[in-house]
Amino acid sequence: MKVLHVIPSAAPVDGGPNLAVRAIARGLASRGISVTVAATNAAGDATLDVPLNIPVVDGGVDYRFFARTVPGSWKFSWPMTRWLWSNARRYDVVHVHALFSYATIPGCRAAAHAPVPYVVRPLGTLSEWSLGHRSWKKRPYYTLLERSHLAHAAAIHATSAAEARDVERLGFGDRARVIPLGIDVAPVHRMRDPAVGRPLRLLFLSRLHEKKNLAVLIRAVAAVCANAALELTIAGDGDLRYREDLVSLTRELAVADRVRFVGHVDGDAKRKVLDRADCFVLPSAHENFGLAVAEALGSALPVIVTPGVALAPMVADADAGVVVDANVPALASALAWAAAHAALLPQMGERAWNLARRDLSWDASCSRLTELYTELTARPRREGRPA
């Protein structure tokens, strides 16, 4: 079986969705599936230093990078368009990872024209929060373009039950397939030392974006610092102006010595910040899955999350953390509780690791994706659609 994955960017700096695609591709390749990933060379505002328009093999996966023709977050790429239009028919399934980005248009339409069954992973863009954010441009865009892409998809890949409900609300529930993402979970874990006699170490690890409610988190830290010893590490990149606003907020609230920004971390650097932390915090307004939360759970870290994080019900059911509303008083109360009960956090972290090992793994995710692809390729091919 030959599967083509299409995503606007495969650069780690552009966040969890891109890291997930790389992990999915490796997992599928290990199952004997021929996998190609088509992406632009975008890496935030910069570009990846990679060969263009030729295969780049990594972990048994054939990556093809194409120049971003016009700067900007939409990631328009005419070379990617030409390649998709000429090559989509060579694959058994096309899996498109994005909406509201240019790559979705040639990815879906080249597959439909071929015709090849295609799967769309919305990346949380269909939630009420997401569609309401800058709705003046998203609503017309959805009506003119994305609704058609969803209507002709063979399946819509939802990574949580919450995201499947978003798909159903828009009228495409019959196509939604819930297949959670996964993480690499170590076969054993070490019990963490409790934060006794030192500050509680909190970790935020995600893209710096307004929906993550980082300003709320910083204000909550400031509210607690007068009565509890804690420190917050913020790992992740984002808009430079937004980051500067957050740094200014720490100075304004006199917690600059309690909050440190370490930028994007990956590989060993990511493992180090996860190993150093006592508790993970993500007070996001919306996460259709929450890969960073899953990674924290797999690292035996208890988590503090908000109801907008799709993994929140699993966290609550497993007693692997605390679920609180995304406002300063509620979040400050949770942080104060964690600081006062530091000796209990390692046991909570053990429950987090057990949850990740049982329910969140790449093996389970790739197994279910393989089943979906097999089902789609067994269906009769429809006639191609005009472009």
| Residue closest to 218 by CA, chosen among 255, 245, 244, 243 | 255
The pLDDT score that the predictor gives to residue 383 is 57
Cβ pair 253, 218 in contact under 8 A: yes
Cβ pair 211, 318 in contact under 8 A: no
Q: Give the domain CATH number at 127.
A: 3.40.50.2000
Cβ pair 164, 179 in contact under 8 A: no
> Taking the model in full, what pTM does it have?
0.77
Torsion sign, CA atoms 181, 235, 124, 14: negative
Question: pLDDT at residue 163 above 60?
Answer: yes
Residue 67 lies in a domain: yes
Same domain, 120 and 209: no
**What is the Cα–Cα distance from 131 to 147, expressed in whole angstroms?**
13
Same domain, 218 and 229: yes
Same domain, 351 and 225: yes
Cβ pair 269, 249 in contact under 8 A: no
Same domain, 132 and 239: no
Look over the chain and give the mean of its residue pLDDT values, rounded to a whole number: 92
Cβ pair 219, 245 in contact under 8 A: no
Q: Please, what is the end-to-end C-alpha distance for the chain in angstroms? A: 26
Cβ pair 4, 94 in contact under 8 A: yes
Residue 258 lies in a domain: yes
CA 53 to chain centre: 26
Runs of H (alpha helix) within the chain:
16-30, 78-87, 104-113, 128-132, 135-141, 147-151, 161-169, 214-225, 240-252, 267-276, 291-298, 312-318, 328-340, 345-359, 362-378
Which SS3 state, helix, strand or coil, does residue 364 take?
helix
Question: pLDDT at residue 147 above 70?
Answer: yes
pLDDT band at 387 (very low <50, low <70, confident <90, very high): very low
Same domain, 328 and 371: no
φ, ψ for residue 313, nearest 5 deg = -60, -40
Overall number of domains in the chain: 2
pLDDT band at 355 (very low <50, low <70, confident <90, very high): very high
The pLDDT score that the predictor gives to residue 157 is 97
* Most confidently predicted of 128-132, 264-268, 277-281: 277-281
**What is the Cα–Cα distance from 40 to 74, expressed in whole angstroms?**
11
The more confident residue out of 267 and 256 is 256
Q: Which residue do the tokens 């060579």 mark?
A: 90
Same domain, 111 and 258: no
Same domain, 291 and 344: yes
Query: Which structural domain range is residue 350 located in?
Result: 200-359
Cβ pair 385, 152 in contact under 8 A: yes
Residue 139 lies in a domain: yes
Same domain, 42 and 160: yes
Environment class of 187 (CB within 10 Å of its CB; exposed 0-12, middle 13-18, buried 19+): exposed
Same domain, 169 and 206: no
Question: pLDDT at residue 228 above 80?
Answer: yes
Same domain, 303 and 314: yes
pLDDT band at 278 (very low <50, low <70, confident <90, very high): very high
pLDDT in tens, 95-112: 999 999 999 999 999 999
Q: Which residue do the tokens 């259709």 mark?
A: 288
Cβ pair 73, 102 in contact under 8 A: no
Same domain, 136 and 22: yes
